[in-house]
Amino acid sequence: MTPTGKELDGARILLIEDDERVVRVMSRFLTLYGGTVVPLGRISAVMPWLSENSADIILLDLHLPDGDGLQLCIQIRALDSPPPIVILTGDGDVKRRTEALAQGADDLLLKPPHPHILLRRLTNVLRRHRAETQNKKLIRRLERYVSTAAVQHLLGPETSERIEAIILFSDLRGFTAASFTQDAAAVFDQVNLVLTTQSQIIRQHGGYIDGFSGDGLLALFEGAAAAESACRAAADILHWSRETAIGNWEQLPVGMGLHCGKVIRGDLGDETRRVFTVLGSPVNIAARLCGTAAALEAVVSEPMIEAIGSSAGFHCAREVALRGVPEPMRIQTLIPEHWSGE
């Protein structure tokens, strides 16, 4: 394919090279094909430059006067969003070149590279990197509408799985009555703020939102410390609800139910409309517990407390009869002050 002069499409290229002749020739050539070249001749200048600026791609010589290019490659790869790295080297040591690729270089060219081979390799790396960046942006946008677990499921095989999880149900007491006495748009905005804040708190504590329903939400926590994390999230939600006035509410009448157990997570629905969610008796029990909670109260099941391994942080032990559950269930109320700030 004949070069058009637009292959690099304005890409900012950080050229880390100490040979001024190489810098001049490569800068002239890469500029000719649409690149913007920023030359740096010393390793010590690179990380400070990257802390203040961005590059679309890095061309890195392994041999520089003030350090090892391989170690610099490792440092760049440790950044939060590192640009792709193409190594330029005259080093004949195959082991060292292999190590550069193992440490995260996206490609490697021997000096002196043929100009048009260099151009094609750079455009290929840039194309892959830009596609990966777009995919990450798409995933972040998807996670605004579905859970991280659902996104991961979309990217993998369509199978259900049995998991051990902590389930947190939350809703607003008296929401139905409020919806009859207030403007619908105002109620929508109020509920959106309540759900948004709860979602943020839950994510901060390592959980994720499985779904919303009206003024309520279903959240899941997984892992060794999931029970403690869910209790801390519930405590922070209660503190926020006590201190927040919205609309006709001087305090937000949030009630919660927390339970644990094995659930099935997977797709429900047909080819035209599916939802990725969890099913199982622990989900139903958490929902029933939420229904027994008073405003500004989080009700926790005895199996949850057993999972934590201590009854500290709970009080008001009692038994409740739950619809659809054969035997009364022993529950306690979470003490927010015990769990906040831990």
pLDDT for the residue numbered 156: 63
Within a domain: 6: no
Pair 27, 90 in one domain: yes
What's the rounded mean pLDDT across residues 184-206? 91
* Model confidence band, residue 113 (pLDDT cutoffs 50, 70, 90): confident
pLDDT digits (tens, 9 = 90+) for 317-330: 999 999 888 889 99
Of 167, 283, 265, the closest CA to residue 220 belongs to 167
* Model confidence band, residue 148 (pLDDT cutoffs 50, 70, 90): low
pLDDT for the residue numbered 178: 66
Asked which of 142, 174, 194 is the last residue of a domain, the reply is 142
pLDDT for the residue numbered 145: 66
pLDDT for the residue numbered 219: 95
Within a domain: 215: yes
What span, in angstroms and rounded, lies between the C-alpha atoms of 280 and 284? 7
Within a domain: 134: yes
Within a domain: 154: no
* Model confidence band, residue 28 (pLDDT cutoffs 50, 70, 90): very high
Within a domain: 98: yes
Q: Determine the residue type at 203.
A: R
Within a domain: 1: no
Asked which of 108, 142, 176 is the last residue of a domain, the reply is 142
What's the rounded mean pLDDT across residues 4-30? 88
What's the rounded mean pLDDT across residues 238-255? 90
What are φ and ψ of residue 227, in 5° steps? -65, -45
Kindly state the tokens that stand for 252. 């937000």
pLDDT digits (tens, 9 = 90+) for 61-74: 888 888 888 889 99
Pair 23, 136 in one domain: yes
What span, in angstroms and rounded, lies between the C-alpha atoms of 221 and 302? 17
* Model confidence band, residue 96 (pLDDT cutoffs 50, 70, 90): confident
Considering only residues 158 and 211, tell me which one the structure prediction assigns the higher pLDDT. Answer: 211
pLDDT for the residue numbered 269: 81
Pair 328, 275 in one domain: yes
Pair 135, 192 in one domain: no
Residue 217 pLDDT exceeds 90: yes
What span, in angstroms and rounded, lies between the C-alpha atoms of 150 and 164? 17
Pair 234, 86 in one domain: no
Give the CATH number, domain containing residue 133: 3.40.50.2300
What span, in angstroms and rounded, lies between the C-alpha atoms of 150 and 248? 36
Minimum mean pLDDT range among 122-126, 272-276, 307-311 = 272-276
Pair 213, 97 in one domain: no
Pair 318, 171 in one domain: yes
pLDDT for the residue numbered 137: 80
What's the rounded mean pLDDT across residues 184-210? 91
Pair 109, 178 in one domain: no
Within a domain: 153: no
Pair 118, 177 in one domain: no
In the chain, how many domains are there? Answer: 2
Pair 227, 310 in one domain: yes
Asked which of 78, 111, 142 is the last residue of a domain, the reply is 142
pLDDT for the residue numbered 271: 75
* Model confidence band, residue 299 (pLDDT cutoffs 50, 70, 90): very high
Pair 167, 316 in one domain: yes
Give the CATH number, domain containing residue 192: 3.30.70.1230
Which residues span the domain enclosing 311? 159-339
Within a domain: 148: no
pLDDT for the residue numbered 1: 47
Average per-residue pLDDT for the chain: 87
Pair 218, 333 in one domain: yes
What's the rounded mean pLDDT across residues 39-54? 93
